Structures are given as structure tokens and as C-alpha cells.
Amino acid sequence: MTTEEKVSLLVGRGMKIPGVTQTNTVPGVGQTMEKVEGAAGTTNPVDRLGIPLTVVADGPAGLRIEPKRKDDKNTYYATAWPVATLLASTWDTKLVEKVGQSMGNEVKEYGVDVLLSPGMNIHRNPLGGRNFEYYSEDPLVSGKMAAAMVNGIQSNGVGASTKHFALNNQETNRYTVNTIVSERTMREIYLRGFQIAIKESKPWTVMSSYNKLNGTYTSEEYDLLTTILRKEWGFKGLVMTDWFGGKDPVAQMKAGNDLIMPGMPNQTKAILDAIKNGTLDIKVIDENAERFVNYALKTPAFKKYVFTNKPDLKEHASLARIAASNGMVLLKNIGNALPMTKKIQTIATFGNTTYDFISGGTGSGDVNEAYTISLVQGLEAAGYQVETELRTLYTNYIAEEKAKNPKKSMFQEFMNPTPRAAELTIDQDLFIKKAAAADIALITIGRNAGENADRKIDNDFNLSDSEKVLIKNVSDAFHAANKKVVVVLNVGGVIEVASWSHQADAVLLAWQPGMEAGNAVADVLSGKVNPSGKLATTFPVRYTDEASAKNFPGKEFREQAFSGMFGMKQYPAEVTYEEGIYVGYRYFNTFNVKPAYEFGYGLSYTDFKYSNLAVSSTIFGKKITATITITNSGKVAGKEVVQLYLTAPAGKENKPSVELKGFAKTGLLQAGQSQKITFTITADELASFNSAITSWVADAGTYTIKIGSSSLNIKQTASFSLAKKIVTEICNKVLLPQVEIIELKK
């Protein structure tokens, strides 16, 4: 290959954002036609050698492409799956793998080669604007879910892209922020999930992130992309930048960031110039191009796969519905308010969101689906009557509000998102009238967020005044009439629940459940599906209870403002992870801060008994197995998420009081039925990162296995001892912070 041909492979063909950018075509090398409209990017072909143009498209909740094309009567809708946070709340890796299989099938049948998914950054803070695209606050859950998703997607012969690598845990100043983190925290919390996913699923590609890590852009950081990802973890695939990420294309090439996306002509030029003037060794380009070619050879494009543009959307919708109902979390259920009994016929449904349900978040993680079933539609399809006066009021109000905000282009929406309409104000008399007429009240609280902005504390994490008033008025009126009140949370991330939930009889966390939303919620409310989701992220009492709250989203240096991408005003910024390893339950449990709902928590319509915990040995050799029996001790069939936590011996390292080391979901157990669950614990699970010797070490001493239904509800414990410490992994001393970090210690 000529040098020009090699370099053409390493810089994408650009991206058309109407009025902002143009497609980047390389004269004589590329084609000019885009293959799949609305895909995020394409890579350059080399026709002479049969290297095809390949297409990459978002995203974590399903394939994001344009559903309609000019002069074409066909439609190209994709399935909007439940968001990643909901999928993680299923704790069911088999189900997530199935979702991945169907998602990947749409990727292949619509002519795309790589799905830019899964997103797997850690929920460091509840305000993270893209948390809905990510799984959990815990690296084990994140890693296992991502691996299941990648295995599912890639079983189709298309690629996945684990993103955003790494330490991209906020949207504020996302293009500039320098994440300052200790070596141990980076390894244990923020890299561990990626490490698990790489090992267990071998994604074709990894997407580097926008942020800097201890001073260097991740896409320009050799030690992240080569020393750790490739040399330590054995990653053999392709690394691509996030869109317009990083600054210096030559540094990106040297770091092992093979592909620059979406690609701009000045980047190609910079690389070619550097080769010519000797500052970039052609060997670097050879290696990157070789990895690109290895990727291209695997693609459906290379194999000349004849895609149909006709995936089985009907079948996928029914799987999306099952997945959605399996990841909803029943937070509260007093006096058996749920499931709604046969006596319930008419439901008074309050809250704008009931009528305008949110299938998923905004930005590149948003899917162009054909429809979203609203909660009202779902309830009606399940045979309930929805009170008509309220329905008319809300429907008209929402239509009026929407008419005030004409549809913006994606880019305008991205720069300046349209706020959701304020809650409709309802007359006092109407609450009383409806409490007399209907059998039950249902209120939906909705939240949406996405790329480029983090959430706010007021009117977002916390309820707005009008929402609080709505809940109070409904609760007063319906409770006075001796009727129940159910609140449905249609949210992509954590919100405040502690101050108002006493006014509800039941609270169902429906997350953002994809296009079958209303049907899936109705399945759970009616009892057709017994809820079995559990929180993979803590719900704190107050925002300020979060250990990261003091350092989120960090500092920005306004006086150093500059004009960045597309003329956007940008500021240098930094955030220091002073909470260290104490993220989520690792903090709440260790420091005895009571959350509203803890990690691992979720109710069911039945009860489960845990018995007969047995460990294979009380002395650790190479591994230990722990077996426990789970019995459905209630009256209806259900599934239980069983969690194994470990308390390590108090060694020199600061250790969280418990850490999740295994989880499993039972099958659907009939009343009275039992299932035996077996966990295997290897030395890897005992180890934590010891910075003094740059290694993962399992310390000698006594370990306690704690098996329970949440991180605070431990049912059975057992101990074993490790006679001599084991070094499980020796790492390179790299990516150290340039400044001292005063980390939280217990």
C-alpha cells in the first residue's frame, strides 16, 4: 500500500452535519455516496485492494440511523431497546446477550459494520448526563453486562465498540476536562469493567474518550491504549477516537489510537506531513493500518453481505418488552398496592410523562424508533380504563406545548436542548372529583438527559415544586377516598425519592424502557410480570450524600476560554476524584451513610428465602465455591437476583466494607420452588490494587462471604482464610497523577 492509502484508512470520511461540516472524501480513493443515512461515520475504502468502505453507527440503546430517505417509500426504523441502566438492573447477562444479538442483527441487516456500543463508564455521580447509556456504579456489573452485550452483538458477525475509554464520567467540559485520579482508583473502579469486557468478549473496537486522564488526552495516551489495553490486557482490535476527540492526530497515531473519527482533511495532512518530516515513524502507521485491515477483513462490507433492510422488528419489539419489564425496580409497595387487583378498572393518570413517555435519552444514544407506547396506551392495551377527562386535559396541554417548540435539527437540539414542558397545573376540585370516580391514581415523573450536558440538582435530581404539589394533591385526595397512589419513575438516572415517597403506596422505577415502554410498565403494574429488577446504582437520600458531590463536575478556568469545535466556547477544566475508590455502595456501606434505596435493592410480589450456604473449603487454595439455596417462599412465581459480597481482611490497604464479587439471577421460581446457586471465587476476586508494588494482590487473612438480596440485606455469611498473600497480576507503573490527591480514607 502507498503511504497515502494507509493513512486514508486511519482517518474517517467525515460526517455531514448540515450547515456545519462536509463529508471528507479522499480524491481517487473514496466513494462519495454515503451507504447508510444517519450513521455516525464511515471509513475510507481502498478500491484497488478490495478494502471496503465500512460504516459505524450509534449506539447503546439500539441502532441510530435515519428512518426515512429522500425519494424512498421504505422506512428504516430500528428498535429502541431499554437503556443500559435498565438492562443492568435485570442482572441477567443471558437476557442482555439476547438483546445484543437482536440489536446486532439490525446492525447487519441495515448495512452497518460496527455498533458504537456498549457505553460502560461508571456512574460516578447521579448527575452524569449520559448515565442512562452506562450500566452501573460497580465495575463488576458494568464489565459483565458489557461483555454480554458485546458477545450478543458480535455473534452476528458485526463489531461492537466498548466506550468511552476511559474516565469519561461527566459531560460538563467533556472535550477539555482533565480527570485527575489515583492509580489504584483508576485500576479498581474505572478500568476494571473495561478489563473484564475485553477479556470476556473481545470487542472488535474500543472508543477512546474525550477527556484527559492525568494530563493527557486519552486518545493520545500511549500508556492507556497500548501499555494497558494491548500489552497488559491483550486487546487485539482497533481503537477509534470519539467524534472530534483529542487534539493532535500524530500523537493519536503514536498512542495506538488507530482510527480518527469522524475524520477531517487537516488530520490526514498532519499525519502525512509528520511522516514526511520524520517526526512520525512509518512503522507506527504500518501497525495501525494493519490493525485497520484486520478489522476491515471481518466486516460484512468486506464479505459483501447482502443486507435486507428488513430486520424482524416485530420480534425485536417483543424482546424489548420482556427486557424492559425484567429491569424495572419496584422501590416501594405498601399494603399490596401492586399488582393492581381485578377490582381496579378505572385509573386516574396524572403527570405529563404518562402521556408522553420517554423511551430513552437524547443525543447519540437516542434511537429513531417507529413508535413509543405511552403508559396510557399500555394500560389500555392491558384492559384498564384510563379516566377520560384527565386524558383530554393532558393530551391537549402536551400538544400545545409541543407546538410552541418546533422540531430542531439534531445539532441545534444538541447545542440547546428543548426543555420538557412544565407539569400541567390541575384545579384542586378535579383531584377530589377524580378520587371519587377512579379506582386508583397513577402519577408519572419523567426525566431526560443526554450528551453534552450534565443534569442539575434543582428541578432534575430534586423534584420541581409543581411535581411535589402534584404528588401531594393526588395523595391527599386519593388517600382521603381510601384509594391508592402509585408513582412511576420514567427516568434515565437517579433522582431524589426520600422526601416524597411516603405519599405514595407504591413506587415503580421504570427507567427509560425503550419503545415498548407503556406495555412493559403495564405488564409489571398488572402482575403479568413479577418485578425482578434491582438497583445497580445507589439512590441517595440527598444529592450531597454522594461522596463525589464535592468534586463534580470540577473546576473550569473561565479566564482561559477559547473557541473550540464548531466555534463552541470551551474552557480548560479539571476534576479530581478525591472520593477515590469510595464510589456508590463502596462509600455508603463503608461510611454508614444510609441511602434512600441501596445498591442491589428491589422488591418482588413474592418473597425469597436464602438457606444452606455452604463453602467448598474454609481454607483458600486456588478457588472456593459457595452454594446457596433460594426458595420462593411467597405465593406467586418470581425471579431473585442473588448477590455475593466479600469483606476482605483489614490489611494495609484501605478497603471498602463490602465489594460485589458475583451475582446470579434465578429462573422463574414457582411458589415453593427452590434453586441452588453456585458461585466460584478465584484469587482475582480477592485481590485489590496495591500501588506500592503496582500489582493486584490478595492479602492473607480471613475473608467473609456475604450473600444477600441487596448490599445492605445480607442473608447468609461464611468465612475462609488465605494463608499467604497471592499476587494475581503485575502491572506497569503508568498514568500517575501529576499532583497530589487527598483521597478519602476510612
Residues binding ligand BGC (CB under 6 A): 40, 58-59, 116, 163, 242-243, 364, 451
Nearer residue to ligand BGC within complex by CB, 164 or 534:
164
Residues 6+ apart with CB under 8 A from 385: 345, 346, 347
The residues, ordered by sequence, that sit 6+ positions from 670 with a Cβ below 8 Å of its Cβ are 632, 637
We find the least distance from the C-beta atom of residue 242 to ligand BGC, in angstroms, to be 5
Q: How far is the CB of 249 from ligand BGC (least distance, A)?
A: 17
Rounded distance, CA 28 to CA 12, Å?
15
- Measured from the CB atom, the residue of 58 and 699 that comes closer to ligand BGC is 58
Q: What are phi and psi of 379, to 5 degrees?
A: -65, -40
Residue 519 makes CB contacts below 8 A (sequence gap 6+) with: 321, 373, 377, 378, 381, 382
User: CB of 294 within 8 A of CB of 492?
Assistant: no
Q: What angle separates helix 3-10 from helix 282-298, to the nearest 10 degrees?
A: 60
SS3 content of the chain, % helix, strand, coil (to 5): 35, 20, 45
Q: List the grid coordinates of 443.
A: 402519577
DSSP 246: S
Alpha-carbon gap, residue 118 to 165, rounded angstroms? 11
Omega prior to 164 cis, within 30 of 0: yes
Q: How far is the CB of 108 from ligand BGC (least distance, A)?
A: 18
* φ/ψ (deg, to 5) at 595: -85, 170
CB of 334 to ligand BGC, least distance (A): 40
The alpha carbons of the chain give a radius of gyration, in whole angstroms, of 26
Contacts of residue 583, Cβ cutoff 8 Å, sequence gap at least 6: 122, 124, 137, 189, 547, 548
Alpha carbon of residue 269 to chain centroid: 36
**Distance (Å, whole) CA 74 – CA 110:** 12
- Closest to ligand BGC by CB, 178 vs 475, is 178
Residue 319 CA to residue 98 CA, distance in Å, equals 8
Cell representation of residue 38: 444517519
Q: How far is 609 from 139, CA to CA, in rounded Å?
A: 28
State the nearest-atom distance from the C-beta of 202 to ligand BGC, in Å. 20
From the list 58, 242, 366, 699, the catalytic residue is 242
Nearer to ligand BGC, 59 or 513 (CB): 59
Distance CA 471, CA 445 (A): 10
Task: Tell me the C-alpha distance between 81 and 677, whole Å.
Answer: 29
**Nearer Cβ to ligand BGC, position 382 or 410?**
410
Q: How far is the CB of 60 from ligand BGC (least distance, A)?
A: 8
- Least distance from C-beta 541 to ligand BGC, angstroms? 32
Query: Rounded to an integer, what distance in angstroms lies between the CA atom of residue 547 and that of residue 593?
Result: 10
Whose Cβ is closer to ligand BGC: residue 125's or residue 666's?
A: 125
Question: 733 exposed, middle or buried (CB, 10 Å; 0-12, 13-18, 19+)?
Answer: exposed
CB closer to ligand BGC, 58 vs 188: 58
Q: Which is nearer to ligand BGC, 168 or 532 (CB)?
A: 168
The nearest distance, CB 501 to ligand BGC, in angstroms, is: 33
> What is the torsion angle, in degrees rounded to the nearest 10, for the CA atoms of residue 300, residue 305, residue 310 and residue 314?
-50
Q: State in angstroms the smallest separation of the CB of 701 from ligand BGC.
A: 42
User: C-beta of 121: minimal distance to ligand BGC in Å?
Assistant: 10
Q: Which residue, 154 or 530, has its beta carbon nearer to ligand BGC?
A: 154
Would you say 451 and 425 are in contact if contact means Cβ atoms under 8 Å apart?
A: no
CA dihedral 284, 289, 294, 299 (to 10 degrees): 150
Asked if 356 is an active-site residue, the reply is: no
The DSSP bridge pattern shows strands 212-213 and 385-386 to be: unpaired
Instruction: Report d(CA 123, CA 134) in Å as an integer.
Output: 7
Match 517526526 to its residue by C-alpha cell: 279
- Grid cell listed for 671: 411458589
- Cell numbers for 192: 476494571
CB of 611 to ligand BGC, least distance (A): 45
Q: What does the angle CA 263 – CA 268 – CA 270 come to, to the nearest 5 degrees?
A: 125
**Is 243 or 610 the residue whose CB approaches ligand BGC more closely?**
243
Most distant CA atoms of the chain, gap in Å = 82
For residue 116, the minimal CB distance to ligand BGC (Å) is 4
Nearer to ligand BGC (CB atom), residue 163 or residue 321: 163
**Residue placing its CB nearer to ligand BGC in the complex, 361 or 540:** 361
Residues involved in catalysis: 242
